[in-house]
Structure 1
Amino acid sequence: MEPETYRFIQQREDLWYFIRSNPEWYRYLTRNPSIIDELEIEAKQFYGKTLPQRMEKAQQNIQMIRLLMQMAGSWND
């Protein structure tokens, strides 16, 4: 792997752990270091950091709060 690519990955802890979990990416980057952008996209999907994934998680949290509020309201009756 090219030294610049390796240093970049070491500086980003999330990418470092992603590559450790998915070693095929080490091979991909060794052969073609220009796909570092694709690595970042895959890592975001892996960690659930894409916008649709974050929106879904927020909706789930809102539903959980509503459910807890309903349960708390039924105990007061």
Structure 2
Amino acid sequence: MRTEVYQYIRKKPDLHQFLRYNPQWYRRLARNPSSVYEMEKEAKVYYGKTFPQRMERFQDSMNTAMMFLEMMRSFNTK
């Protein structure tokens, strides 16, 4: 693996951890260093950092909060 690619990965702890969990990327990066951006996209999906995944987590937390509020309202009416 090229040193500049390795330094780029070391600067980003999530990428470095992803690389350690997925060793097939060592071989892919050694053969094609420009695929580091592809690995970065895959790591975002793996860690749930894509926009749709973040929106889904936000929606889930909003649903939980709404359910909690409804439960509090039902206790107050009794």
TM range (shorter): over 0.9
- Aligned pairs (5 A) from 1:1-77: 1-77=1-77
Q: Among the aligned pairs, what percent are the same residue?
A: 47
1:74 shift after superposition: 1.1
Q: How far apart, CA to CA, are the structure 2 residues paired with 1:6 and 1:75?
A: 57
- What letter corresponds to residue 71 of structure 1 in structure 2? M
Q: Where in structure 2 are there 5+ consecutive unaligned residues?
A: none
Q: How many residues matched?
A: 77
Q: Where in structure 1 are there 5+ consecutive unaligned residues?
A: none
Q: CA RMSD in A?
A: 0.7
TM-score by length of structure 2 reads: 0.94
Runs of 4+ in structure 1 off by over 3 angstroms are: none
